Structure 1
């Protein structure tokens, strides 16, 4: 068969180097062997690939016509070999990542872009759901990794890697009756706060973000944002989420008289302790650690 992998590499080397001797040096072969191999290819294909003269070697029109597909085949073969090696090293067929919606603007996409460059054959699914739903999917074995805010307490089913932090800022709608005022403790303690907080009996919520006596609970920061924009209360919301709204005047940042108007929460990537991570998941976590900017 004239167009097997070795011959394709040799054919492209002659095209790129411009002579049999230069191609031979690039391939670690002797010039006579390269010349004979090209002649054999031409005989089997019944095509003239190179015009030979005493001064130069020139590719024919037929050679130029074959060149694009030859390069594609060599590239695909290299990808296939790299994928086979990665599978041998533990690369999973598919990586499924679920992200809390408030973290969709974090640096995970940059890490996935680099992962795709390193393992182009790896299939990736990206899902988004409220944090509680993301963790339920993780425990049910439906996803490999969860990108979420830190959890109150410790779940023995989980392993995790801390990545960085997100800043939450206190905001309210500009139409709120107290908008623009510097709030005293007796005011904000009685002012309705809208918070992402669980309703499970016996569940301890984070005291850093639950400060008012009057509380409405939601299961996501997106639901909280909608209620705040409707003027129904104030909330701590992720800086990345509210920055465009603050700049547009659609939200106002609250100033408290006796406490900070921001809280920092850590961001974790979480996986099941009883399910060893594949090569893709391990590499994604490694790429996230230096790239995340909280």
Structure 2
């Protein structure tokens, strides 16, 4: 198999248009470049350059092999970069857990920058809510989480508020009786089924009054509401993206409610360089 140096000499000679220009670019003599390419042609049993003119030009086979050589050099570069990152303690995999309450242009921009900085690092995104998000970080299942702000967190977690917020409002299907109600208050709501969020790790944190269906995700509650099973508190952005034309927002005193978002990470399982970099982008 051709060495990195030989492939680089071939690619530069093809790109620069001459062996001498490739030598100047790589800090080598023209004869060294010529010898490297001749060796490569022998190994491949192919003629890569037409040398009949003053400046050699690629043969048809040379054009094909140039693409392959560039692919190999790019793969070698990614391999070296990944090895360097791992040797510096960069995570082999980063897991981020996020609440459906949080629609963030900042997060999308941070992911785009993250992909450029760590193109070969595996990224896993989990969706969870409230206590489930906290549990994921506590167990080390997620390195970083973006969760609906809570008043108190376990002492093993660190939190920092993200400079963005969202809103949660009450919604029903357009054919639901509440959609035509002129006046809606707490007593009226209790006459109809509530679709409420219930986390997996702590499903009975608060007892609801009246008829209740529950689910651990807002997206599942949205689907229940669309089917007319009851009213549900849902993130406005989620309804705007997935429930437009099907769900109707209820006008109830105290709603919509603002939701602030905290970034969470563990003191016991702190994020590595990649996770810390992502946190920095989100908290700038």
Map Cα deviations across residues 98-126 of structure 1 (whole Å, 9 max, x no partner). Answer: 333454x6555654454233223212233
Deviation of 1:62 after TM superposition, in Å, equals 3.9
Residue of structure 2 equivalent to 1:126: 125
Correspondence list, 1:133-148, <5 A:
133-148=132-147
Alignment gaps of 5+ in structure 2: none
Q: TM-score, normalised by structure 1?
A: 0.76
Cα distance change on mapping 1:63 and 1:202 into 2, 3 Å: closer
Q: Aligned partners of 2:204 and 2:43: how far apart in 1?
A: 79
Q: Over aligned residues, Cα RMSD in angstroms? A: 3.6
Is the CA contact (8 Å cut-off) linking 1:148 and 1:267 kept in structure 2?
Answer: yes
Cα distance change on mapping 1:31 and 1:230 into 2, 3 Å: closer
Q: Aligned partners of 2:217 and 2:39: how far apart in 1?
A: 68
Residue of structure 2 equivalent to 1:81: 80
- SS of the residue corresponding to residue 165 of structure 2 reads strand
Correspondence list, 1:1-294, <5 A:
3-42=2-41, 47-103=46-102, 106=104, 108=107, 111-163=110-162, 164-181=164-181, 183=183, 187-188=185-186, 191-192=189-190, 194-196=195-197, 216=212, 218=214, 219-222=216-219, 224-225=221-222, 228-229=225-226, 234-244=231-241, 247-248=244-245, 250-256=246-252, 259=253, 261-289=255-283
Deviation of 1:94 after TM superposition, in Å, equals 1.4
Aligned length: 277
Q: Aligned partners of 2:43 and 2:202: how far apart in 1?
A: 75
- SS of the residue corresponding to residue 170 of structure 1 reads strand
Q: Aligned partners of 1:79 and 1:201: how far apart in 2?
A: 45
Is the CA contact (8 Å cut-off) linking 1:99 and 1:131 kept in structure 2?
Answer: no
Cα distance change on mapping 1:223 and 1:72 into 2, 3 Å: closer
- SS of the residue corresponding to residue 244 of structure 2 reads helix
